[in-house]
Amino acid sequence: MHEMSIAMAVVDQVVQAVPEGADRVESVLLQVGELAGVVPDSLHFCFELACSGTVLEGAELITEPVPAQARCGACGTGWAVGMPPELTCPGCGDGAATELLTGRELQIRSVRWADRPAYADQEG
């Protein structure tokens, strides 16, 4: 199951980032692009299993969906990609110069430790 390996990787990354004195994680906010190939319900189930016996046991996984957006390098038109992905420019019909801007994300945006301020990444 793809989602189990993702859940285990998230847990591993959070465990490696445990600040001194922290003993429990309350929540993890994970951005998930709509083209990342992740089934949110399966990911939540796997996350709960992967957290067992760690400082994340009982933590809430919050998934933030990221819509897929593209831009045409030829004419500059931007559009929502949708499902199934349409990567041909609706403005000029070019597909060769299409740049996928968002929708592939799969990243931890923040971790909330019990009795500590949230840690959030410094990007974006």
Annotated binding-site residue numbers for Ni(2+): 2
A 10 A CB-CB count for 28 gives 22
Binding residues: 2, 72, 75, 89, 92
Would you list which residues are annotated within the binding site for Zn(2+)? 72, 75, 89, 92
Pairing of strands 25-33, 60-66: parallel
Angle CA(93)–CA(38)–CA(26) in degrees, nearest 5? 130
Q: Give the integer Cα–Cα distance in Å for 119 and 110.
A: 5
